[in-house]
Amino acid sequence: MRNSNRLRFTKAGRAKYISHLDLMRTFQRAFLRAGIEITHTEGFNPHAFVSIPLPLSVGFSSQCEVLEFELRRGAELSEVPGRMNAVLPEGITVQKCYEAVKPVKALTYVNYIVTLEYENGAPFGAETAIRDLLSRESLVVLKKSKKAKSGQVEVDLIPLIAKFTVEGRRDTIALDLIIRAQNPGLNPELIVSAIREHCPEASPDYVAFHRKDVLDAQFQPWE
């Protein structure tokens, strides 16, 4: 089965905490509420077939989530955002609905804004320390893995980070990261744990993760 239509949506506020599986269920039900018929799976429990190519971690916000589906009847593509937004829970907003342009395998990079928050102000030198850390030739961290016998594998973060900027403000340090999306992808939480490990003085009290854009191999928006 193939899905040729895509929705681009925002996931923010209270909806940040909806898990990947729950989000798929939420969309399946929302299509039914909106009276938009989409392709179903076969079998004993037929259900609306939707897929999310790049699942978002629970607690992250995003302005560039993509959901794939196949419109059958009940609405024109252009009507879909309005109809869906009327029936989606708070915090999920469909921006547009379109025919897929590039295949999922062309989705190469993700742009994240990671905001490190410091209750007593960003420590002196933290910004530089983080910039130096991310500028190393290699930065190997341990990552949980279900496949490895030890339950952990080593990952070098540097080859997975395509571009970054570090910008310090009074109480926060903002990391603007463009990192690998898949095969293998990089979860920006690993970058924060590397900061905690290698630059303990720069350890934040709280971190907010925001997905800003999804890009192809040429750093152009993936649609």
Q: With CB under 8 A as the contact rule, which of the stretches 40-48, 131-139, 178-186, 212-220 interacts with another protein?
A: 40-48
Q: How far is the CB of 89 from another protein (least distance, A)?
A: 5
Least CB distance to another protein at residue 200 (A): 20
> Does position 58 bind another protein by CB under 8 A?
yes
Residue of the chain from 87, 100, 104, 162 that contacts another protein (CB under 8 A): 87
Identify the H or E element spanning 198. Answer: helix 188-198
Closest CB to another protein among 19 and 165?
19
Calpha distance 55→160 (Å, rounded): 18
Among 55, 82, 89, 151, binds another protein (CB under 8 A): 89
- Does the footprint of another protein cover residue 42 (CB under 8 A)? no
**How far is residue 199's CA from residue 202's CA, in Å, rounded to a whole number?**
5
Angle, helix 126-134 to helix 188-198, in steps of 10 degrees? 120
| Binding of residue 85 to another protein (CB under 8 A) | no
Strands, E, within the chain: which ranges? 5-11, 37-38, 61-69, 71-73, 92-99, 109-117, 140-144, 152-156, 161-168, 172-180, 206-215
Q: Which residue's CB is nearer to another protein, number 27 or number 109?
A: 27
What is the CB neighbour count within 10 angstroms for residue 102? Answer: 14
Contacting another protein (CB under 8 A), which of 121, 148, 206, 220?
A: 206
Say if residues 181 and 73 touch (Cβ distance below 8 Å): no
Residue 208 burial (CB < 10 Å; 0-12/13-18/19+)?
middle
Number of amino acids touching another protein (CB under 8 A): 30
* Residue 25 sits in the site that holds another protein (CB under 8 A): yes
- Which residues contribute to the site for another protein (CB under 8 A)? 13-15, 17-19, 21-23, 25-26, 28-33, 40, 44-47, 58-59, 87-91, 206
